[in-house]
Amino acid sequence: MDSRGAMNVCILGAGVVGLTTALELQNQFPNANFTTIAHLFNQQTTSDGAAGLFYPSSTFYGPSLDITKKWIGDAYSYYDSLRISSDGENAGVFQYSGFRLSSSVPSLVRSEYMEDVAPVHRYATEEELQQFPGKWKYGSYCVTLGIECRRLLPWALARFQEHGGKVITKKIERFGELADDYDVIMNCSGLSAEHLCQDRLMVPIRGQVIKVHAPWVTQFVFSEHDTYIIPSGRGRVTLGGCRQFSNYNLSVSKWDSEKIREECFQLMPKLAIAPELETWVGLRPHRHPVRVEAEVLSIPNKRGGTLKVVHNYGHGGYGVTTAPGTAKHAVNVFRHLHARSGGNQLSKL
């Protein structure tokens, strides 16, 4: 606590999970002191490379199915409310539609998660399937949301600072570095949690995508073998991709690029003339299950207590999709953690 008795809270990480958690904390506890600490911001983060399609896979999972569905529902509500607000355009949230396709496995085009939240989620008609080259036997059509992190992250960081949040650029190697300055750490450090928490369940999922300028592409298409074409805002389209577990290689693979071009051009031939803007490689922080829980560490602080941590990491390739939902959950965990520890700061906020 500071000299006024207000609680000092650190949010570790400035990707989409960290920033949505920071904003949720400020919303619920406006009189506390919040500081975001990270060594990477905005376009430097893994979040920036995301295609931004709100469509979580069944591989995304929390501690239970009910909690996972609540995270997804809360996240969709957050983004949809933001979309229709005056901040929607600046934050890069928009609505669009598209298709999932399969030539052999009907379950690939269904999503129990999206059936619960999307305004439209239905099987594709034969006529709709025929617009795509190839022998597609199964398909679904969905209206959902797109989130352009190249706008969302700067918007969220600016909003955090406008509401009194402090920002420090620093790489944290140990939680003990923060013990004397903060009452609670919100650990949204993504893949860095593998080292910070010695978490053996954390693995990187290497992804590579190609960003092109193709303003005529207004619907997403997601087919088998991690092939996707996703409008990502302002004429940028993300072509992907790959999903390589436990691969730490951040170099561009020409073989992955060739596969992406070949499969996306087969699906949408006109993309062959689209100018390429960049090739992006990132390591998605995957954990099964996603970790959102409290931990009291045996690290003393100068106030005679021990360091409290609320973890919120391991979202894999679905951090952008689900961040507002896990942020809401993490802030509720934060509230209960402090209440159980006998602190009374929250009652003052």
d(Cα 275, Cα 76) in Å, to the nearest integer? 32
**Single-letter code of the amino acid located at 241:** G
- Concatenated DSSP letters for 164-204? T-EEEE-----GGGGTTT-SEEEE--GGGHHHHTT-TT-EE
Burial of 342 (0-12, 13-18, 19+ CB in 10 A): exposed
Domain extents for the chain? 8-348
Tokens encoding 346: 């929250």
- Are residues 313 and 293 in contact, defined by beta-carbon separation less than 8 angstroms? no
What does the pLDDT look like over 93-143, one tens digit per residue? Answer: 999 999 999 999 999 999 999 999 999 999 999 999 999 998 999 999 999
Which helix (H) or strand (E) segment holds residue 94: the answer is strand 93-102
Residue 55: strand pairing partners? none
In this prediction, residue 348 carries a pLDDT of 30
Cα-based distances in Å from 172 to 2, 36, 38, 303: 22, 12, 8, 21
Tokens encoding 44: 């430097």
In this prediction, residue 338 carries a pLDDT of 72
In this prediction, residue 347 carries a pLDDT of 32
Residue 145: strand pairing partners? 95
For the chain, residues with pLDDT lower than 50 are 3, 344-349
Residue bearing tokens 């129990």 = 112
In this prediction, residue 345 carries a pLDDT of 43
User: Homologous superfamily of 8-348 in CATH?
Assistant: NAD(P)-binding Rossmann-like Domain (3.40.50.720)
- Concatenated DSSP letters for 246-286? T----SPPHHHHHHHHHHHHHHSGGGGGSPEEEEEEEEEEE
Cα-based distances in Å from 264 to 204, 222, 225: 24, 10, 11
Asked if the peptide bond before residue 241 counts as cis, ω within 30 degrees of 0, the response is yes
- Concatenated DSSP letters for 59-78? T---SSHHHHHHHHHHHHHH
In this prediction, residue 2 carries a pLDDT of 58
In this prediction, residue 349 carries a pLDDT of 30
d(Cα 304, Cα 296) in Å, to the nearest integer? 14
Helix (H, G, I), strand (E, B) or coil at 321: helix
Residue 209: strand pairing partners? 240, 280
Nearest partner of 279 among 306, 309, 254, judged by Cα: 254
Cα-based distances in Å from 240 to 97, 248, 327: 18, 18, 27
Asked if the peptide bond before residue 289 counts as cis, ω within 30 degrees of 0, the response is yes
- Are residues 139 and 99 in contact, defined by beta-carbon separation less than 8 angstroms? yes
Residue bearing tokens 């379950």 = 107
pTM: 0.94
Give the sign of the dihedral formed by CA 58, CA 47, CA 75, CA 140: negative
Cα-based distances in Å from 325 to 175, 176, 279, 349: 25, 28, 29, 22
